Amino acid sequence: MRLLDWLVFLLWLVSLVSYGLYRGRGSNTVSQYLLAGKSMPWYAMGLSILATQASAITFISTTGQGYVDGMRFAQFYFGLPVAMVILSATAVPIFHRAKVYTAYEYLEYRFDSKTRALTSGIFLIQRGLAAGIGLYAPAVALSAVMGWSDRWITVVIGALVVLYVTTGGIKALTWADVQQMSMIFVALVVSLVVALRALPEQVSFFDALHLAGAAGRLNIVDLHFDPSSRYNVWSGLIGGAFLALAYFGCDQSQVQRYLTGKSIAQSRLSLIFNASVKIPMQLFILFIGAMVFVLSLFVREPMIFHPVEAARAAQTQDWPSAKTGYERAFEARRSAAYELTKQQTPQAVALFRKAQKDFDTQRQQGLGIVARLHGGERFDDTNYIFLSFVKKFLPVGLVGLLIGVIFSASMGSTSGEINSLATVSVVDIYGRYIAPNRDDKHYLIASRFLTVFWGAFAVAFATFGARGFGALIERVNIVGSLFYGGMLGVFVLAFFFKRVAGTAAFWGVLAGEAAIFWAARFSSISFLWYNVIGCVVVVVTALIITSLMPNAEVAKTKAVNA
């Protein structure tokens, strides 16, 4: 980046953190610090929920996904609107009326303390891991553009997040997320405009659409039912709905957002807003990736997008022949692409697809060189594609702005995670078992201390423990899916099966988690179905145990529910 880019980058970060600190002032009680005093309007909650999902991984990995695999990843979110409607009718009013700080606090009212502790522990494990991955993923990619060590980027992001979240609590991060999402929308539009304007003059927008379609980059919907396929309509509608139900209904990082609402109606509106915006936003991001792919048909991109690995590969004996084959395949594909814009015949489409296949084969040879340098481990540079585009095509100043937005997107998602981790730690563990019945000031100090602790944990895990987690956008969702099914199952029991008692729910969760890890280890089923499996096993196991339970415990549960 040039001097102007650095100035814009720093100005954006300073303004974001300053705005968060300004809006977070007055968070001097536990209620203000953890729930913003239940004062948030629907649009602020909605944008904050969206920002927690729209992390740096969304920019870096989803655009790359659109580039290499097309737009079918959008099917992952097809079940989200259904989940939002269900949660608006169930979880939102139940949690609000229970006047809880965390979703797991409600489980003790409904079941018992051991079920609450188990579910809280599951959340802390999975969200703690996810926070580290969420920090590590963009740091590695940004290091290639910014010239910083990925460890330094991780530390800087973590320090900035801890600064404004520790000071201003959830109010600070929510209003910072509003500013962040506004700039994300601007950055997405700018990226698409730049990609389209960089196309050759003779290639129209409709030509670009036709080329993307011929290359399979506009393949949004796959109607084939295949449990091992991650992205088809059925895994998206069913598995995606279960994942969204668990994420937005059981994950404190999301539940805490709509617990800050002024009213049940405001919280419902925040979820409906997400139901309306999320899929179009993902389609737009994937479409940017598809248009960057079309641009690469005419403007040669590097064979390997990771600049450091490309430099290492260039020193090997196999590189000259691989590079020559790659350049030849690029010229053949470019000629076929130009021909397809002139005459859109079946023959021209077939020629273009053959040229694309040959090009992919040549690029895989380059990736294979890097894989051999890493001892045969598969190498994937998808996460560097969008950053390469930003660095090459955006004008000075806008490069700094886009990098700043990606950088701060990592801050936005991480801030929500460490805030929710601190909340669960204080409310469900510390205040319940370690230091009960203390005054409000004591728990406020504990909340701030645990915010710093979880921020440090995320940085440490990102620095030393997340390096083997590989591809970004999928890995984050895979980690969540290992735990969400069990969590979703226990809340289904709490909301809809009034006869089930705490012991049955507790063992149901353990059985559900065991089933998920068995499926992950011994089957080829897509991770989206883990949520379905876990939820079903929890419910079935709990119902079986309830049928065998002494009548006294069932009667006690009925009395509590009454």
Q: Is the pLDDT of residue 466 over 60?
A: no
Average pLDDT over residues 205-224: 90
Which tens digits make up the pLDDT trace of 546-559?
998 766 555 445 44
Cα separation, 63 vs 57, in Å, equals 9
For 40, phi and psi rounded to 5 degrees? -80, 135
Which tens digits make up the pLDDT trace of 188-210?
899 999 999 999 999 999 999 99
Q: In whole angstroms, how far apart are CA 81 and each of 236, 255, 270, 481?
A: 11, 16, 12, 18
Cα separation, 38 vs 114, in Å, equals 28
* Helix/strand/coil for 203: coil
Average pLDDT over residues 411-437: 90
Spell out the alpha helix ranges (H) of 432-527.
440-464, 472-496, 502-522
Lowest mean pLDDT among 37-51, 60-74, 465-479: 465-479
Q: Is the pLDDT of residue 53 over 80?
A: no
Among 405, 198, 180, CA closest to 288: 198
Is residue 71 within 8 A of residue 290, CB to CB? The reply is yes
Q: Specify the higher pLDDT residue, 527 or 14.
A: 14
Query: What pLDDT does 325 receive?
Result: 93
Query: What pLDDT does 468 receive?
Result: 46
CA dihedral 352→353→358→360, nearest 10 degrees, is: 120
Phi-psi region of 430 (alpha: psi -120 to 50; beta: other; left: phi over 0): alpha
Residue 482 banded pLDDT, cuts 50, 70, 90: confident
| Cβ contacts of 394 within 8 Å, gap of 6 or more | 190, 191, 194, 402
Average pLDDT over residues 54-83: 83
% the chain with pLDDT above 90? 43
Paired strand residues for 261: 40
User: What count of residues does the chain have?
Assistant: 562
Find tokens 């891991």 and name the residue: 129
Is residue 329 within 8 A of residue 362, CB to CB? The reply is yes
Query: What pLDDT does 137 receive?
Result: 66
Cα separation, 50 vs 84, in Å, equals 13
Among 58, 536, 429, 49, CA closest to 247: 49
Is residue 447 within 8 A of residue 438, CB to CB? The reply is no
| Residue type for position 318 | D
Cα separation, 495 vs 511, in Å, equals 19
Spell out the alpha helix ranges (H) of 30-79.
30-35, 42-53, 56-57, 63-69
Query: What pLDDT does 470 receive?
Result: 44
Lowest mean pLDDT among 108-112, 184-188, 263-267, 421-425: 184-188
Query: What pLDDT does 297 receive?
Result: 94
Q: Is the pLDDT of residue 427 over 90?
A: yes
> Nearest-5° angle of CA 179, CA 183, CA 185?
120
Which tens digits make up the pLDDT trace of 370-405?
989 888 777 878 878 888 898 889 888 888 888 888
Q: Is the pLDDT of residue 278 over 70?
A: yes
Query: What pLDDT does 475 receive?
Result: 59
Query: What pLDDT does 474 receive?
Result: 52
Cα separation, 49 vs 87, in Å, equals 14
Which tens digits make up the pLDDT trace of 488-540?
999 999 999 988 999 999 999 999 999 999 998 888 887 778 888 999 999 99
% the chain with pLDDT above 70? 93
Average pLDDT over residues 539-546: 94
Q: In the CATH hierarchy, which fold is given to the domain comprising 3-295+393-561? A: Sodium/glucose cotransporter (1.20.1730)
Which tens digits make up the pLDDT trace of 128-163?
887 877 777 677 667 767 777 778 888 888 888 888
Mind giving me the DSSP string for 282-309?
HHHHHHHHHHHHHHHTTSPPPSSS-HHH
Average pLDDT over residues 24-29: 82
Q: Is the pLDDT of residue 167 over 60?
A: yes
Domain layout of the chain by residue ranges: 3-295+393-561, 307-380
Lowest mean pLDDT among 104-108, 354-358, 389-393: 389-393
Q: Is the pLDDT of residue 256 over 70?
A: yes
State the chain's mean pLDDT as an integer. 86
Prediction pTM value: 0.84
Q: Which two tokens stand for residue 239?
A: 């598995």
* Helix/strand/coil for 549: coil
| Cβ contacts of 318 within 8 Å, gap of 6 or more | 365, 369
